[in-house]
């Protein structure tokens, strides 16, 4: 009887530990800032995270990992639904190539090679000059709320890993949303007038 009670208590403890959320300081958005440039508003963001040993093992076995930076921008309205001005995603793919013993980071058409995993991850940790709002966007004279987070896209892992991710936190990586208020954004710069010469014969 005591053995059954002990096993039941152990099972409940294991389930409770598995359900506990990860510590907030394990993965987080350290800093985020919007800057006005000629093309619109760009985001600079710093993330703090480390791969779990399991994710590092998966990457070393040749399976690429896909990271997604998500950005949202809008304003709250007490009288109606919140207004969403912009919603953007930045996808980054990191992979390991055993023959060259290098890590490759791909962001769209841009690819970079690194000698170490930490060098590749440091680029992901520090997002710079990411255009999130085009200069054609107009703003009301009010405060807006911006939000940003980083996560590992487990949906792009091979099927066996996707199934494992359903029950294992070792295959997850996600920061909480970082939200900050943007006080009455200034009007974005007007498009720069093209000074290219007209083609011959053009009116």
Query: Rounded CA gap, 62 and 50, in Å?
Result: 19
Contacts of 139 (CB under 8 A, 6+ apart): 85, 184, 185, 187
pLDDT one-digit tens code per residue, 151-180:
999 999 888 887 777 777 889 999 999 999
Q: Which residue has the tokens 């920061």?
A: 175
**pLDDT score for 23:** 43
Q: What are phi and psi of 129, to 5 degrees?
A: 55, 45
| Structural domains of the chain, ranges and CATH numbers in brackets | 25-89+124-182 (2.60.40)
Cβ atoms of 160 and 168 within 8 Å: the answer is: no
Residue 123 has pLDDT above 60, yes or no: yes
Residue 44 has pLDDT above 70, yes or no: yes
Cβ atoms of 164 and 157 within 8 Å: the answer is: no
Q: Which residue has the tokens 């060098």?
A: 119
pLDDT one-digit tens code per residue, 98-110:
999 999 999 989 9
Residue 20 has pLDDT above 50, yes or no: no
Q: What is the largest CA-CA distance in the chain?
A: 97
Residue 25 has pLDDT above 90, yes or no: no
Q: How confident is the model at residue 46 (pLDDT cuts 50, 70, 90)?
A: very high
pTM value? 0.76
Query: Rounded CA gap, 73 and 95, in Å?
Result: 31
Query: Rounded CA gap, 59 and 75, in Å?
Result: 39
């Amino acid at each position: 009887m005591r053995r059954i009670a002990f096993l039941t208590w152990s099972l409940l403890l294991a389930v409770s530990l598995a359900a506990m959320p990860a510590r907030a300081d394990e993965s987080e958005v350290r800093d985020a800032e919007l800057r006005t440039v000629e093309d619109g508003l760009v985001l600079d963001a710093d993330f703090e995270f480390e791969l779990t040993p399991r994710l590092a093992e998966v990457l070393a076995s040749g399976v690429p990992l896909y990271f997604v930076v998500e950005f949202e921008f809008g304003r709250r309205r007490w009288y109606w639904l919140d207004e969403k001005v912009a919603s953007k995603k930045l996808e980054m793919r990191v992979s390991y190539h055993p023959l060259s013993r290098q890590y490759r980071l791909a962001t769209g058409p841009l690819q970079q090679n690194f000698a170490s995993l930490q060098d590749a991850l440091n680029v992901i940790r520090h997002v710079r000059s990411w255009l999130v709002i085009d200069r054609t966007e107009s703003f009301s004279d009010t405060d807006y709320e911006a939000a940003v987070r980083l996560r590992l896209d487990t949906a792009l892992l091979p099927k066996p890993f996707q199934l494992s991710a359903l029950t294992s936190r070792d295959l997850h990586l996600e920061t909480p949303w970082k939200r900050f208020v943007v006080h009455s954004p200034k009007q974005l710069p007007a498009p720069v007038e093209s000074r290219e010469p007209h083609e011959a014969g053009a009116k």
